[in-house]
Amino acid sequence: MTSISPNSAARPDYDSLIQDIAAYVYDYQISSPKAWRDARLALLDSMACAIESAPVCASFIGPVAEGTIVPNGFPLPGTSHVLDPLKAAFDLGSLIRFLDHNDAFPGAEWGHPSDNIGAILPVADWLSRKGETGITMQLVLELTIKAYEIQGCLQMKNPFNEVGLDHVILVKVASAAVLSKLVGLDREQAPRKGWAAGDACMRAVHLVLMTKSGQPGFPTALTAPRWGFYDTFWSGKPFKLPLPFSTYVMENHLTKLVTAEGHAISAVEAAVQLVPKLQGRLDQIKTIHIRTQAAAMTIINKTGPLHNAADRDHCMRYMVAVTLAKKDWPEAADYENDSPWAMSALVEELRNKITMDEDPIMTKEYHDPKTRNCANGLTVEFISGEKLDEIVVDKPIGHPWRPDTLDGAKRKFMKLTAQVVADPEGVWNAFMTEDSGLIKVSDWVDQFKKMA
C-alpha cells in the first residue's frame, strides 16, 4: 500500500483508498477504552487458539530447514520452535486459524480479523529482541485494532467470494499497512483456509520487508486501467466503505467460544437448548428445520458425503447433529476423521433429517450494524406430528454485545493454555489491565513458550 508523505497534500497519482488507509494507520489516535480492552482480549484469545492448534499442525510448522538457528527469532507459542519473521508469520497465522476457533467478523464477506495477529506479533517480537526502542505491547495493540478495522471495513460491503477471491486477501492488505508503521517505513514507502491465513500473514511481512529494502510500491494498484484491481476483479467500480476507519471492528467482532463456523454458532446454541427436550426421543424425530441467514446458506449449507474435518466444521447440519447426539457443545476433535461422530450412524441419520432455508429478516439483521444478529432458529417435528416451539438464538455465545462473552473468553484461554502457560489466570489478569501496554513484546511472548 503506497501512500503520501506525512505533510503533503493529497496527490492524484495515489489511489484515494490507499491514501485513506495510510492516513488512518499513521495518524489516527485511538481513544476508545473498549477498543483497547477488546484488543487485549483478541491477543490472548489468539494465543490460546494457536496453542490449541499446535499439535494438529506439527507436520508443517517449524523452520523450513530443520535445525536452523535464528538470532532474535520468534518463539512459536506452545512449541520449541524459534523462527525467522516470515516463517513465524506463516506458522502463527496458520495456528491461530487452523481449527476455526479464532474470532470472526461478518459482512458481505465473512472474515477472521485475528488472522492479522499472525503477522503483527512475530515482527514486533523480532524487533523487540533486536533491541529496537518503543516496541511495546501498546504498539502491538494499536496495530491490531487498526488491522481489524481495515480488514473489517473492507469486507462489510465488498463480497470478494463472488469474484472468486479468498477473503484472506484483506489480511495481506491490512497487515501490510500496519506493519509498514511497525518496521519504520515512512508514509511514502507504506506498501501495497487453514494455512491460507498463514500464507497471507507471511506475504504481508515479505512485502513490507521488500519495501524496506528499497523496492518501490505501486501507487495505482487499485485504479490502473485494465490491470488495476478494480478493472480486473471489481467491474471497474471502487470498494464500498460503510464508515470511516475508527475502532468499530475491534469493538464488534465475534469471539469464538465454540469450535464451529461462525454462522452456525447460534444454531449450535439452540441445539444445546433442545437437548433436554429430546431426551430419549432422537429416534422419533421426523425433521429438524433451520431458519437462517443468507451467508449460512452460502457457506455451510452442505449435503452429501463429508470427507474431512474442513468439510465437517463447515457443515451446519453436521454441527447441529453432533450437538444433539453428543448432548453437548462440539469440540475441535469432533470434526476429525477418527472422531466417533464422523462415522456415527446417528449423526448421519439426524443430518439427513435437517433442512435449511433463508429468512430474509435474519439476513437483513445480520447486515444491520444496529442489530448485528447472526441468528438461527431450530424447529423439531416428530413422526407423531407433534412439533416443538422454535428455539431462536439471535446473538450467539461470544457475541460482542453479550455480557457473558468476556468471562467465556477467559475460561477458554485458561483451558487451552493450561499445559503450556505456568499461570494462565495470572497472565490473563495481568494483560487485561490498562497499563499492560508497557510490557516489552518479547517478555510478553516468552510467557507462551512450551514448558520444559
Phi, psi of 387 (to 5 degrees): -130, 130
Q: Are 182 and 138 in contact (CB under 8 A)?
A: no
Q: From CA 91, how far away is CA 85, in angstroms rounded?
A: 10
CATH of the domain at 81: 1.10.4100.10
Half-sphere exposure of 107 (CA within 13 A, CB side): 28
DSSP for 296-321 reads: HHHHS---S---SHHHHTT-HHHHHH
Residues 175 and 148 in one domain: yes
Task: Provide the percentage of residues in the chain whose pLDDT is more than 90.
Answer: 75
Residues 249 and 269 in one domain: no
First-last CA distance in the chain: 42
Q: What is the pLDDT of residue 6?
A: 36
pLDDT tens readout for residues 263-291: 999 999 999 999 999 999 999 999 999 99
Q: pLDDT grade, residue 221 (50/70/90)?
A: confident
Phi, psi of 397 (to 5 degrees): -55, 135
Domain holding 358, by residue range, is 262-393
Q: pLDDT grade, residue 193 (50/70/90)?
A: low
Residues 318 and 355 in one domain: yes
Mapped onto helix, strand or coil, the DSSP state of residue 17 is helix
Q: Are 249 and 152 in contact (CB under 8 A)?
A: yes
Q: Are 25 and 145 in contact (CB under 8 A)?
A: no
What's the total number of domains in the chain? 2
The CB density around residue 202, as the number of other CB atoms within 10 Å, is 26
Residues 284 and 163 in one domain: no
Q: What is the pLDDT of residue 233?
A: 86
**Residue 214 domain flag:** yes
**Residue 412 domain flag:** no
pLDDT tens readout for residues 85-108: 999 999 999 999 999 899 999 888
Question: Where is the domain boundary, 355, 374, 393?
Answer: 393
Q: What is the pLDDT of residue 195?
A: 66
Q: From CA 344, how far away is CA 326, in angstroms rounded?
A: 11
Residues 224 and 294 in one domain: no
Phi, psi of 7 (to 5 degrees): -110, 5
Residues 322 and 225 in one domain: no
Q: pLDDT grade, residue 164 (50/70/90)?
A: confident
Beta bridge partners of 291: 357, 377
DSSP for 155-223 reads: HHS--GGGGT--TTHHHHHHHHHHHHHHTT--TTT-----THHHHHHHHHHHHHHHHHTT----TTTTT
**Residue 224 domain flag:** yes
Residues 26 and 145 in one domain: yes
The length of the chain in residues reads 452
Residues 275 and 220 in one domain: no
Q: Comparing 206 with 273, which gets the higher pLDDT?
A: 273
Question: Of all helices (H) and strands (E), which one includes residue 74?
Answer: strand 74-75
pLDDT tens readout for residues 378-421: 999 999 999 999 999 999 999 999 999 999 999 999 999 999 99
Q: Comparing 64 with 150, which gets the higher pLDDT?
A: 150
Q: What is the pLDDT of residue 12?
A: 54
**Residue 376 domain flag:** yes
The CB density around residue 402, as the number of other CB atoms within 10 Å, is 15
Residue with cell 464477506: 109
Cα 292 to the center of its chain, rounded Å = 21
Q: For residue 1, is pLDDT > 50?
A: no
**Residue 1 domain flag:** no
Phi, psi of 143 (to 5 degrees): -70, -30
Mapped onto helix, strand or coil, the DSSP state of residue 358 is strand
**Residue 303 domain flag:** yes
pLDDT tens readout for residues 236-262: 999 998 889 999 999 999 999 999 999
Q: What is the pLDDT of residue 304?
A: 93
Residue type for 113, please? P
What is the overall mean pLDDT for the chain? 91
Q: What is the pLDDT of residue 191?
A: 56
**Residue 249 domain flag:** yes
Residues 208 and 284 in one domain: no
Contact residues for 323 (Cβ-Cβ < 8 A; gap 6+): 268, 271, 272, 275, 329, 330
Q: And the C-alpha cell for 38? A: 477488546
pLDDT tens readout for residues 330-386: 999 999 999 999 999 999 999 999 999 999 999 999 999 889 999 999 999 999 999
Residues 278 and 140 in one domain: no
Cα 97 to the center of its chain, rounded Å = 7
Q: From CA 253, how far away is CA 55, in angstroms rounded?
A: 27
Q: From CA 78, how far away is CA 66, in angstroms rounded?
A: 18
Mapped onto helix, strand or coil, the DSSP state of residue 284 is helix
Residues 215 and 292 in one domain: no
Q: Give the CA distances from residue 256 to residues 46, 51, 100, 112, 191, in Å, rounded to whole numbers and listed in that order.
A: 10, 15, 8, 10, 31
Q: What is the pLDDT of residue 207?
A: 83
Q: What is the pLDDT of residue 8?
A: 37
pLDDT tens readout for residues 3-38: 333 333 444 577 899 899 999 999 999 999 999 999
Cut 0.85: pTM above it: yes
**Residue 434 domain flag:** no
Residues 169 and 277 in one domain: no
Q: Comparing 315 with 208, which gets the higher pLDDT?
A: 315
Identify which of 236, 397, 188, 150 has the alpha carbon closest to the alpha carbon of residue 228. 236
In the chain, the largest separation of any two C-alpha atoms, in whole Å, equals 74
CATH of the domain at 314: 3.30.1330.120
Order the strands of the 354-358 sheet from edge to edge.
Answer: 354-358, 285-292, 376-382, 391-393
Find the mean pLDDT for residues 114-130: 97
Contact residues for 331 (Cβ-Cβ < 8 A; gap 6+): 259
